Amino acid sequence: MSLLRIEGLSLAIHDYAILHDVSLTVAPGQIVGVIGESGSGKSMTALTVMQLLPEGAQATGRVMLDGQDVLQLSEADLCGMRGRVMGMVFQEPMTALNPIQTIGDQVAETILVHDRVSRAEARERARQALARVELPEDRFPLTRYPHELSGGQRQRVVIAMAIALRPRLLIADEPTTALDVTTQAQILKLLKRLVQEDGMGLLMISHDLAVVADMADQLVIMRHGRVVESGPSPDLFHRMQHPYSKALLAASTHQPDRAAQPQEVPLLEVRGVIRDYVTARKGIWGKPGTFRAVDDVSFRIRRGESLGLVGESGCGKSTLTRAILGLEEVQAGEILLDSQPVFTGHKPNRAVRRRMQVVFQDPYGSFNPRHRVERLITEPFHLLNAPPQGAARDAAIAEALESVGLTADDRHKYIHEFSGGQRQRIAIARALIIKPDLIILDEAVSALDVSIRAQILDLLADLGDRLGLTYLFISHDLSVVRQVTDRVLVMQAGRIVEQGETAEIFDAPAHPYTKQLLSATPRLPDITDA
Amino acid sequence: MSGGGLIRAALTNRSLVVGLVLSLVFVGAALISFIWVPQDVTALDIANKIKPPSAAHPLGTDHFGRDILSMIMVGARTSIAVAVVAVVIGMGLGVPLGLAAAARRGSLLDEVIMRGNDLVFAFPSLLIAIMITAVFGPSALNAIIAIGIFNIPVFARLTRGAALSLWTRDYVLAARVAGKGAVRISAEHILPNVTNLLIVQGTIQFSLGILAEAALSYVGLGAQPPIPSWGRMLADSQTMISLAPHMAIFPGLAILLTVLGLNLMGDGLRDLFDPRIRRDRR
Amino acid sequence: MLHYVLKRLVSLAISLAVASLVIFFAIEVVPGDPAAYMLGMNAQPDTLAALRDQLGLNGSIPERYLSWVGGMLQGDFGTSYTYRTPVAEMIGERLWISLPLALYALTLSTLIAFPAGVWAASRRGSVVDMGVMGVTQLGVAIPNFWFAMLMVLVFAINLRWFSAGGFAGWEQGVLAGMKSLTLPAVALALPQASILTRVMRSSLLDTLSEDFIRTARAKGLTRRQVLWRHALRNAMIPVLTIIGMQFSFLMAGAIIIENVFFLPGLGRLVFQSIAARDLIVVESVVMLLVFAVIVVNFAVDVAYAAVDPRLRGRR
């Protein structure tokens, strides 16, 4: 007997088709993982079950929950079901809570909306719900406000709200995507425990095969609003039929071919770098404090090497990047590129800066929307004393664009005419145009869908071989770092806690933090035999 | 797009069109008044005073027998000139201040600019006009200065707020990596991306300027006789309102319609610019 | 919370000090010799000297500033040159008209704008919404003093429901006084209510599109419950800013509207003083109004903290 049965669901929003003939089932106590890239319709499927669709949505088919078709229910009936029969957890914990209400009140509200109980009783049950999501009252009083909690703790509050009435079905839409990997592991474990304790069904939506593979009983793979394949996990990984599923799996574990061997000469040397920030004063007469974002960091990158830098948010990797790029001065230590300092006499050294470039994470925010591609990618010419003019400039633009797989004619377009993957190629072209030695990849593939990510990684490997580039690959995603780097640095709270050959660190981590990171990283089942 | 969405889109377009037409009518009237008016506004014709609308005087005459239509046309010059110059002052000083404050966010400069803004906000333009007039006597220039000063913090705050969010964009970081300084980045990357906002706000301050100018000349702190202005026409009409309501109604309508037109235009422009910005962010 | 309020108090004190400096310089230093300015061209040297002495103009500029501020702190605003009465007394009398008028208008504007804004936002895109937006579009564009004149024409001259101007005096009873202030207050309130309605609506719509609204809906709250329990209080933050700013516009607007209704308030006082070149009175009235605006903005800042726990700082 299934708890949720979606049959032939199609959905259109303002006459634009989103879902086509989607069918899936969730049994009590079962975890069903829905996987897809952006635009696959996975989130819309979830919102259809909750009937929280945007205006203008038209759904056909059947969505049977607990014997009732939610598509046929009145809004009043649906309000009675939301929170009681079905609960939902969203992707972005930082904005999912009302900022001006205490967490106790927000959890208690779920109970007060549905049950005729006193305020005191509702608070008591809220206390229990928060304790169940491991936010015990002695450490997290009900009077806390959301801004006093971390992202992971806020996500726990959202989960507490969703499970306070022990609903039959819980829907989790990318519940851990915005979280660090260790927090992600804790939240996934919590969800799993709640499913077991309450025997509820969990519909878990994710873009990350590995996250779902670890915990789902059943997998549903979606693409362009259709279910392309589904079946029990982990067997499905061995018996994938549909070419898209296979491609998705291949892309998730993609290992680019890299031929070049790093030379023994150091290109970048970082020695004893310290970066302090001044923090707000405590009280009107208090002294401003300091926060040490980077604490005595030393390492070197050899010419032609690909060095990984991993760490969770707030560990200081962005600050370190800005220091290397010469955007901020450090308080102690030195940063040398080919034995030349990045900062000389409190000023960034242009001769050094023109030999380094960077590619950022967000393919959408990395470009001024008002400039054409040619102007965008030639911006680094500003670092040259005699930038190429006329035909030489045209040739440089064409070469940069062609080397990243675009055409010379793309120079006349605006950035909104390109997809996310193409934009990331343009970002690489911008980095290449002044022929730097070192390229810093700051989460450069983190925002991309896996199939696009695989292509960009291939491109980077190819360019590295052909142009003899050195990469500093900064990422929170350990599996990607493993695939593309020679050596890796692990950073925690401003310090490098471990460094070494990538393979060695991943196989035999020495530092407890590295061990913790690695064990928290979700893994795809081993399918080498398939 | 649904039917409702289409209707709404058409309506917003309509507000732009209606606003543009209304604004152009009054700007046109002001321009035409330089070369032609139905009747000379400096010539008094006491025999024909306070006449209701007629074929000879479509909007009637005032207490000196002057043609009200002509007065409104010439008065439009004063209103528009004062409001436009005040917007230029506000933008010319406010935008660079806002850009500078955003470029050096959290610095002493930022703090001084923002506190200065707060201070000016505590002086409504009427109070500035009162102070200037108390010391220098009334004139149209007072109105311009008073409204212009009040516009500075409006533009400074708007620019700073928008610029602050642009400074966090990766493309600004990319420009810094390319070795560009704060002034260059403000000119190349920040300013072009706040222009839309500035145009919309400029339209709104233009309309507020017309209202403020009318109020100031109504209480005698703005343009002085014999320069016709809408606010003073209303002040003159006040004692005769039961006798000659047309003297009060038409200049007031002129203010209302101009301000309405400019506001509609501002709304229309905002809707026109907004979808592109939204598309961009996705 | 205490820390936040203390910080605001410090900035309040600084604002007041700087504002008083600006006013002092504009009125007492820029014109050169205020006494000569007040007496005009043909002043006799001995009358000039007497006035200088009376105004305390013989000291240095810092001394004069300090004695002006020191006097104000003790409630002494100086003596009017034209009326020969203490300015504090004159202002005190007039304030009994101008302040009730501004508060009356603020109350009206808030009472109209809240329901109208909520109503329009909760029925976004409907006829109601379009109607409310259309009316507010007109309300924003109408000059308040002209609207006041039209109301006099209709309600005072034609219908004779109200008197065309003047003030009954509070000694005639609160109701009679309120009645004299009703038309002026409505004229003042209409444009402000229109602005506030628009701000209320758009702030509410912004809040309704936030993530936490969807979370609340997922808990089983109806649209109406979400609006009242979650959206409204969050939407108040920008609305409070506007209410604070409106107070300064209302004080300034009151000065103008008093002219239409011949109300003996601060506005009339200030214009008579300008005409009589009585700088002492002008200076005091401007300082008082600026003081009111700054204090109201301080109150708004404190109100923010009451609404938004994030401003109260971490515990």
**Beta-carbon neighbour count of residue B44 at 10 Å?**
14
Asked if B177 and A358 come within 8 Å (Cβ–Cβ), the reply is yes
Q: Would you state the pLDDT for residue A285?
A: 61
Tokens in use for B262? 């400019």
| Edge-to-edge order in the sheet of strand A495-501 | A356-359, A438-442, A470-475, A306-310, A487-492, A495-501
Least confident of A147-151, B169-173, C276-280: C276-280
B174 in contact with A, Cβ within 8 Å: yes
Kindly state the tokens that stand for B177: 């990596």
**Separation between Cα atoms, residue C15 and residue B267, nearest integer Å:** 34
Q: Tell me how far apart the alpha carbons of residues C200 and C204 are, in angstroms, rounded to a whole number.
A: 6
The separation between CA B75 and the C-alpha centre of its own chain, rounded to angstroms, equals: 15
Rounded percentage of chain A residues whose pLDDT exceeds 90: 72
B263 vs C contacts (CB less than 8 Å): 137, 140-141
Assess A369–B contact: CB distance below 8 Å, yes or no: yes
How far is the alpha carbon of C227 from chain A, nearest alpha carbon, in Å?
12
> Contact B124/C249, CB-based, under 8 Å?
yes
| Residue B107 predicted with pLDDT over 90 | no
CA distances for A38 relative to A138, B70, B279, C240, C314, angstroms: 41, 64, 17, 40, 37
Q: What is the pLDDT of residue C31?
A: 73
Q: Alpha helices of A164-200 — where are they, by DSSP H?
A: 181-198
Match 């106590």 to its residue by tokens.
Answer: A29
Asked whether A253 and A260 are in contact (CB, 8 A), the reply is no
The rounded distance, in Å, linking the Cα atoms of B267 and B201 is 10
Q: How confident is the model at residue B278 (pLDDT cuts 50, 70, 90)?
A: very low
Instruction: Give residues 134 to 163 of B whose Cβ lies within 8 Å of C.
Output: 134-136
Q: Which burial class, exposed, middle or buried, applies to B27 when counting CB atoms under 10 A from its CB (0-12, 13-18, 19+)?
A: middle
Predicted local distance difference test score (pLDDT) of residue C313: 59
State whether residue C225 sits within 8 Å of chain A by CB.
yes
The SS3 assignment for A291 reads strand
Measure CB to CB from residue A366 to each of B170, B178, B282 and give the nearest one. Answer: B170
Helix (H, G, I), strand (E, B) or coil at A22: strand
Q: Given CB atoms, is B177 within the 8 Å cutoff of chain A? A: yes
Section C212-233 average pLDDT: 93
Cβ separation of C220 and A81 shorter than 8 Å? Answer: yes
Chain B residues touching residue C125 (CB < 8 angstroms): 4, 8
What residues of chain A lie within 8 A of the CB of C307, using their CB?
A: 100
More confident residue, C109 or B12: C109
Under an 8 A CB cutoff, do C146 and B255 touch? yes
B255 touches chain C (CB under 8 A): yes
Q: Tokens 């995603």, residue?
A: A477
DSSP-assigned letter for residue A372 = B
Hey, CA dihedral for A236, A241, A245, A250, is it positive or negative? positive
How many Å from the N-terminal Cα to the C-terminal Cα in chain B? Answer: 18
Burial of C171 (0-12, 13-18, 19+ CB in 10 A): exposed
How many CB atoms within 10 Å of residue B278? 9
Question: A306-310 and A470-475 as β-strands: parallel, antiparallel, unpaired?
Answer: parallel
CA A295 – CA A272 distance, rounded (Å): 8
User: Please, what sign has the CA dihedral across residues B232, B238, B241, B244?
Assistant: negative
Compute the nearest-CA separation of B176 from chain A (Å): 7
State the pLDDT at residue A283: 57
Size of the A and B interface in Cβ pairs below 8 Å? 61
Is the previous residue joined to A232 through a cis bond, with omega within 30 degrees of 0? no
CA nearest neighbour of B238 among C160, C145, C254, C266: C145
Chains that touch A (3 or more CB pairs under 8 A): B, C
Which of the 8 DSSP states describes residue B107?
S
Mean pLDDT of the residues in chain C: 86
Distance CA A336, CA A273 (A): 11
Examine the pLDDT at C254 and tell me if it is beyond 90: no
DSSP C120: H
DSSP per residue, A219-285: EEEEETTEEEEEEETTHHHHS--SHHHHHHHHHHT----------SSEEEEEEEEEEEEEEEESSSS
State whether residue A364 sits within 8 Å of chain B by CB.
yes
Task: Give the minimum alpha-carbon distance from A392 to chain C in angstroms, rounded to a whole number.
Answer: 50
Nearest Cβ partner for B177 among A325, A362, A367: A325
Query: Pick from A367, A381, A382: which is nearest to B171 by CB?
Result: A367
Is the Cβ of C10 closer than 8 Å to some Cβ of chain A? yes
Which residues lie below 8 Å from residue B27, measured CB to CB, with a gap of 6+?
B76, B80
How much is the CA Rg of chain C, to the nearest whole Å? 24
* Residue showing tokens 């806020």: A154
Cα separation values, C22 from B155, C28, C29, C61, C283, Å: 21, 10, 10, 13, 11
Q: Please judge whether A95 and C225 are an interchain contact, meaning their C-beta atoms are less than 8 angstroms apart.
A: no
For the stretch C16-59, pLDDT in tens is 999 999 999 888 887 777 777 777 767 777 877 877 777 777 77
A383 at interface of B, judged by CB pairs closer than 8 A: yes
B276 vs B76: which has the higher pLDDT: B76
Give the dihedral of Cα atoms C105, C107, C111, C116; nearest 10 deg: 50
List the single residue in C7, C219, C308 with the smallest CB-CB distance to A113: C219
Counted across chains A and C, CB pairs separated by less than 8 A come out at 82
pLDDT at res. A85: 94
Q: Specify the long-range contacts of residues C179-184, CB closer than 8 Å, at least 24 apart.
A: C180/C261, C180/C263, C181/C97, C181/C100, C181/C101, C181/C104, C181/C263, C182/C104, C183/C148, C183/C151, C183/C152, C183/C155, C183/C156, C183/C261, C184/C101, C184/C105, C184/C148, C184/C254, C184/C257, C184/C258, C184/C260, C184/C261, C184/C263
Q: How does pLDDT run across A134-190, given as a tens digit for each residue?
A: 999 999 999 999 999 999 999 999 999 999 999 999 999 999 988 889 999 999 999
The confidence score (pLDDT) of residue A117 equals: 93
* pLDDT of A119 over the 50 cut: yes
Q: What are phi and psi of A32, to 5 degrees?
A: -110, 120
Contact between residue A53 and residue A47 where contact means Cβ atoms under 8 Å apart: yes
Q: What's residue B6's pLDDT?
A: 42
The interface predicted TM-score (ipTM) is: 0.86
% of chain A at pLDDT higher than 70: 97
| Burial grade of C228 (CB within 10 A; 0-12, 13-18, 19 or more) | middle
- Residue B189 touches partner A, C-beta closer than 8 Å: yes
Q: Which residues pair with A24 in a beta bridge?
A: A6
Per-residue confidence (pLDDT) for residue C113, from 0 to 100 = 93
Asked if pLDDT for residue B7 goes beyond 50, the answer is no
Q: Chain C neighbours among B 210-229 (CB < 8 Å)? A: 211, 214-215, 218-220
> How many residues are listed for chain B in this entry?
282
Q: How far is C257 from chain A (nearest CA, A)?
A: 40
Q: Return the bridge partners of A270, or none.
A: A299, A335
The rounded distance, in Å, linking the Cα atoms of A57 and A174 is 22
Pick the more confident residue, B3 or A4.
Answer: A4
Rg (CA), chain A: 26
Q: Determine contact: C3 vs chain A, CB below 8 A.
A: yes
User: pTM of the prediction?
Assistant: 0.86
* pLDDT score for A63: 95
pLDDT in tens, A417-446: 898 899 999 999 999 999 999 999 999 998
Asked if the model's pLDDT at residue B277 lies above 60, the reply is no
**CB contact, 8 Å: B160 with chain A?**
no
Contact at CB, A327 and B176, closer than 8 angstroms: yes
What band does A281 get if pLDDT is binned at 50, 70 and 90? Answer: low
* Contact assessment for residue A101 and residue C231, using Cβ atoms and an 8 Å cutoff: no
Smallest Cβ–Cβ distance between C219 and the set A100, A147, A161 belongs to A161
A351 interfacial to chain B (CB closer than 8 Å):
no
With a cut of 50, say whether residue B125 has pLDDT above it: yes
Q: Which of A74, A81, A98 to mutate to test the interface with C (most CBs of C within 10 A)?
A: A98
Write down the pLDDT at residue B3.
Answer: 43
- Looking at residue C314, what is its pLDDT? 42
- For residue B176, give the amino acid letter: R
Instruction: State the best of B14, B111, B119, B239 to mutate against chain C, taking most chain C CBs within 10 Å.
Output: B119
Q: Report the pLDDT value the prediction gives residue B12, as an integer from 0 to 100.
A: 57
CA distance A194 to A204: 13
Shortest distance between the Cα of C307 and any Cα of chain A, in A, equals 7
Which stretches of C150-299 are assigned E, i.e. beta strand?
none
CB contact under 8 A, C309 and A283: no
Instruction: List the structure tokens of A80.
Output: 């009675």
Q: Both tokens of residue B176?
A: 């810094």
pLDDT at position B274 is: 65
Minimum CA–CA partner of A440 in chain B: B177
B1/A contact by beta carbon, under 8 A: yes
The more confidently predicted of residues B91 and B63 is: B91
Q: Smallest CA–CA separation between A61 and chain B, in Å?
A: 22
pLDDT greater than 90 at residue C280: no
Counting every residue written for chain C, the total comes to: 315
pLDDT band at A284; cut points 50, 70, 90: low
Spatial distance between the Cα atoms of A500 and A521, rounded to a whole number of angstroms: 19
**How far is Cα A57 from Cα A50, in angstroms, rounded to an integer?**
13
Q: Which residues of A touch B282 (CB under 8 A)?
A: 364
Q: 3-state DSSP: chain B helix, strand, coil percent, rounded to 5?
A: 75, 0, 20
Q: What is the CA radius of gyration of chain B?
A: 22
Cβ pair C310:A95 closer than 8 A: no
By Cβ distance, the residue of A354, A365, A370 closest to B170 is A365
Interacting residues of B44 by C-beta distance below 8 A, sequence separation 6+:
B64, B65, B66
Mean pLDDT of C181-198: 92
Per mean pLDDT, which of A72-81, C58-67, C239-248 is the most reliable? A72-81
**CB A327 to CB B177 under 8 A?**
yes
Check residue A55 and report its DSSP letter: T
Query: Measured between beta carbons, which residues in chain A are less than 8 angstroms from residue B2?
Result: 14-15, 56
